[in-house]
Amino acid sequence: MEIRLRLTVILLVLFSVFSLVPASAHAETAAAAASLQPFLEKAITAFNHDHGVDIKGVYGASGNLARQIEAGAPFDIFLSADEKWARYVEGKGLLDDEPLPFAAMPLVLWQGGNEEPSPALLQSGNMKVAIANPETAPFGRMAKEYLQAEGFLTKIEQDGRLILCGDVLKTALAASSGGADLAIIPLSIALRLGEGKWIKLDTPPQTLFGALVKGRKTALIEEFWKYLRSSDAESFMDEFGFLPVRP
């Protein structure tokens, strides 16, 4: 009986102590297109260091992230690889303000090894071509549109040479691990691979858009969004081939 009483007292004391500890504020999270990961990892690290905070990044295909926000995912800012998915979330009434363009990114053809690839390789009957899923990944849609415009797509699909991947990071992994011979990916991901060779494709760069998520605005995440659009972040953009865009 005495032991049970002592345990009860201990539990009551612990409960009273923990009840006095305030719940920590939610950790700010940036939901970002996979193409942004190389740049954003460095930008977030620098911002966190300078401000003594701990913003996190979550990366994936823009369409998947948009639907996660729609489903109530606790993201504070949405950085989309195109305007379409940013407008999709805006149309659902889930953005705090109008999406703004903040960067542009070229599309490249990547090949493993030491030889620079040529678009002519896309016509080769034995070359497998990896692109991100066009339904959810803007750079995948851009890659498909390029193949279609150049007259390559029908033959590649008929030959069974088109490899669809979840996002551009998975596309690069598929190609670099031997699952495909060629990959059409954003320059940022090609540079991050640090291997193989690439050439820019003759198509306009993709413009990326961002906005704060409705109901999630804090002074910190607002400052971070301003930082990403400032000259302070441009060195990280330059490192991975991004071109700053000012609205």
3-state DSSP of 174-229: HHHCCCCCEEEEEHHHHHHHCCCEEEECCCCCEEEEEEEECCCCCHHHHHHHHHHC
**What per-residue confidence (pLDDT) applies to 156?**
96
Architecture of domain 107-200: 3-Layer(aba) Sandwich (3.40)
**What per-residue confidence (pLDDT) applies to 22?**
36
Per-residue model confidence as pLDDT tens for the chain (247 residues): 444 444 443 333 333 333 333 333 567 999 999 999 999 999 999 999 999 999 999 999 999 999 999 999 999 999 999 999 999 999 999 999 999 999 999 999 999 999 999 999 999 889 999 999 999 999 999 999 999 999 999 999 999 999 999 999 999 999 999 999 999 999 999 999 989 999 999 999 999 999 999 999 999 999 999 999 999 999 999 999 999 998 7
**What per-residue confidence (pLDDT) applies to 5?**
40
**What per-residue confidence (pLDDT) applies to 16?**
37
* CATH number of the structural domain 29-105+207-244: 3.40.190.10
Domain boundaries, the chain: 29-105+207-244, 107-200
- Whether residue 130 contacts residue 213, with contact meaning beta carbons closer than 8 Å, is answered with no
**What per-residue confidence (pLDDT) applies to 26?**
62
**What per-residue confidence (pLDDT) applies to 144?**
98
**What per-residue confidence (pLDDT) applies to 124?**
87
In three-state secondary structure terms, 28 is coil
Residue 83 DSSP code: H
In three-state secondary structure terms, 102 is strand
> What b/e string do you get for 126-141 counting C-beta neighbours within 10 Å, with b at 16 or more?
ebbbbbbbbebbbbbb
**What per-residue confidence (pLDDT) applies to 36?**
98
Sheet with 243-244, side-by-side order of all strands: 56-60, 29-33, 77-80, 206-212, 100-105, 243-244
